[in-house]
Every structure is written in C-alpha cells, then in structure tokens.
Amino acid sequence: MSNAEAEVKQGIHDIRRSIPYILEEIEGPCFNKTPRANYQTNFNDFKNTVFPHLSMFLKELSGTVFTIPSDNRQEREERAKRGAQYLYGVSCSLTNIKSLLAVLWSKDPATDFRPDGSKPDEFALVVFRCASLQMKIIALIHKIKEVCDVHFNFVRMLDSPNHGFSSQAIVKGWKNLADKDRRVQADMLNLSKWFDLSDSDVMEDRLVLITQQLQDILPIPTELIEKKVKHPEPLKDSIPIIELSVDFFSTLSKSAGLEPHAFFLLPPTQQIAIANTAKAFPVCLKEFVKEIVYENDEEDEPVEIDYEIRDEMYKILAQMTKTLTDYCESQKSESDCVHNPEDLGSLEEFRTSFESWISKFKTSIDTFYATYHRTFPNSQNIFES
C-alpha cells in the first residue's frame, strides 16, 4: 500500500470516527426550540459556502475513492492523492455544518426570532423550515457514513491475502459502493435546491423524506428472507406493514392531477403538527422490524414478543388522527369555517380514508402477531396493552 492509499484509508477512518460525535450533537429534537433572529444568515452560509464545498468534495470522491481502482499504478496513485485531499475537505465541511447548526437555534431570548405578527403561522413555518433543514442534514450525514463504512469494510476484506473473492464478486462490491455513493449525490443535489423551495414545497419535501425512510426499511426483511433464515414467516408478514406505510405517506406527497392532496388544505399549523408527529413513525417501524426474531437456536426457549413498539406506532397514528379530526370538527361551525364546501368535502374524505388506512394497518399488525405466535408457540407477551 502506497502512502497516498494509506492516507485515503486514514481519511475514511477519521470520517467514520467523527460522524457519531457530530450526530450526537445535532440529532436532538427540534421541538420547543426557537430559531435565532438571524437564522437566514445561517441559511445563506449553508447555501452559498458550506454545501457547495461539500458537494464538490463528494463529487470528486465519486471518481477517485468510491470507484473501481485503476489498473494503472500511476493513475491509481494520483487518484489516491487527490482522494485524500477530498476526504479532508469532507471532514472540514462536516465540522462547519455542526458549528452552523449549533448557532441556528437560539439559546438566549435576546436572540430569538420574533415574527412581526402580520403573517399568520409565520413563527411555526420558520421553526419547521429550520427543523427540516436539520433533518435533511442528518439524513445526508448518515448516508455519508454509510458509504464510508462500506468502503472501509470492503477494502479491508480485499487487503486480506486470503479474501477468496472472485473477480465478479469484487466488481459487485465496487458497484454496491457506487450505489451508496449515488444516494449521497442525490441527497446533496436535493439539499442544494431546498433553500429556494416555497413553504408548501418544504412540507412536500418532508413527506417525501418520511416516505424514503419507510422505503429504506423494506430491505431489512427481504434480505434476511433471501438468506434462507430459519423462521422467515414473521419477516414475510412484516412486508405488507411496511408497504402499507409507504403507500400512505407517498399518497400524501403526491398531487392528483394539478390539485394537491387534501392534506395541503389544512392550515400550516395543522400540517406541521401532523408532520412533526409523523416524524417518529419510520423510526418506530424500523425498530419494530429489527426486533423480529427469525433464529431461535433453543426451540424450547420462549421468545419474548414486545408490544411496546406497536403501541407507540398506534399512539403516533392516533395523534395524527386527532389533529385532523379536531380541525375538521372546528370547521363545521359556519362562523369559524374558512373553506368552501368542496374543500370541506375533500378534508372529510381525507379523514375517512386515513381512518380506513389505520384500520388496514392494524389488521396487518394483527396478522403479523398471529404468525409470530404460530411460529414460536412458546412465545411470551410483554408490555401488551
């Protein structure tokens, strides 16, 4: 291994080591936080300085580090030299992002953002925009760590003198790395356009992000099933649960023809309340799927089936329903109604379809647990409500 290649390896290691500490500082909840009065200055710094630099470094890594090495030793050495520099640039950019996010939120009432009162929901919209930026940055950083993890582990295996990989397997490994890198590039491109979005487009983007997070759960059971695990039945029954979730949230973020979904007829405050509640849903569903037992070496050993995560998902859906229902009920009074009859009908239809979807979701959950109990007859219920 040349000095330049060693520097690349060290650069990858440094990013992998630093990202958990960065995420620990920036992954805290944004609820009940107040943006600083000069939040727009931070946005400009992100848009015009930090993100362009990070985007440039990441693009260059696609052609130097996250790609099949050249057979030409001199070219491989040159790529490694440039790659080490770009990795350092990524590391510096991540540090700058952490610093900018740290001062996005106010820690002193004297620096609080204060709406002028002339725009309804202005404060809620600004908080939501700042929180959405933080969510997108966190999602991007997770993907950067993922591509670095794949590179680090794959190269380490290749460095082993007895790795036993065929040439086809090696090419497949590099293609897998390239796929992870493409996801990073897509997120980076999306972020560069995000700052110019309208308030409704920022909400649309949040719903798309939730949908993507749900879609990312699907490979967990499907890949395990492909590996011929001992008890695939509960994993198979988790797939309809994930697919139902993806379908619902993707429907919210899609327009029917030229008309937006009825969700966007809600005032911003109600939209934000529903979106903020829904934010935890992919996290719970992912934990739910990852907790599924599919190997049980001791057949007589009881399997503990935990209903706590299921109940947490139900609470999230109940809160979303309550926000929607409370608003629909408030509009039944002529003096309080701000919608025409057609829009009111669309909102009622949305409420009905949401309740119908929740019923289907719970039926899928019940089917899953019935399969779970059949698969593990000695199972024990814990935290069942």
Query: What is the pLDDT at residue 331?
Result: 84
| 95-100: long-range pairs with CB below 8 Å, 24+ | 95/18, 95/22, 96/50, 97/22, 97/46, 97/50, 97/54, 97/137, 97/141, 98/22, 98/25, 98/26, 100/42, 100/45, 100/46, 100/50
The whole-model pTM stands at 0.85
pLDDT at 384 over 60: no
Q: Express each pLDDT in 310-367 by its tens digit.
A: 999 999 999 999 999 999 988 877 666 777 788 888 999 999 999 999 999 999 999 9
Quote the tokens at residue 78. Answer: 């040159």
pLDDT at 102 over 90: no
C-alpha to C-alpha distance for 309 and 313, rounded to whole angstroms: 6
Arithmetic mean of pLDDT over the chain: 88
Bridge-partner residues for 259, per DSSP?
256
**Position 286 confidence tier, pLDDT thresholds 50, 70, 90:** very high
Contact 289, 221 (CB under 8 A): yes
Residues 269-273, mean pLDDT to the nearest whole number:
94
pLDDT at 292 over 70: yes
Least confident of 187-201, 207-221, 255-269, 348-362: 255-269
Among candidate residues 196, 172, 6, 35, the one with its CA nearest the CA of residue 115: 35
Contact 94, 143 (CB under 8 A): no
Mean pLDDT comparison of 69-78, 165-174, 267-276, highest-scoring range = 267-276
**CA 256 to chain CA centroid, nearest Å:** 25
**CA 281 to chain CA centroid, nearest Å:** 11
Query: What is the pLDDT at residue 107?
Result: 81
**Position 246 confidence tier, pLDDT thresholds 50, 70, 90:** very high
pLDDT at 248 over 90: yes
Least confident of 30-34, 167-171, 222-226, 297-301: 297-301
Q: Locate tokens 């992100």: which residue? A: 46
Q: What's the one-letter identity of residue 147?
A: V
Q: Express each pLDDT in 127-152 by its tens digit.
A: 999 999 999 999 999 999 999 999 99
Query: What is the pLDDT at residue 337?
Result: 72
Query: Which domains, ranges and CATH numbers included, belong to the chain?
Result: 1-196 (1.20.1420), 197-385 (no CATH)
Least confident of 103-112, 244-253, 322-331: 103-112
C-alpha to C-alpha distance for 58 and 68, rounded to whole angstroms: 16
User: What does the buried/exposed string (b/e) look like for 185-207 if buried means 16 or more CB atoms within 10 Å of the residue's CB?
Assistant: bebbeebeebeeeebeebbbbbb
pLDDT at 111 over 80: no
Residues 275-297, mean pLDDT to the nearest whole number:
91
Quote the tokens at residue 52. Answer: 């362009």
pLDDT at 257 over 60: no
pLDDT at 29 over 70: no
Query: What is the pLDDT at residue 271?
Result: 95
C-alpha angle with apex 316: 311 to 322, nearest 5 degrees?
120
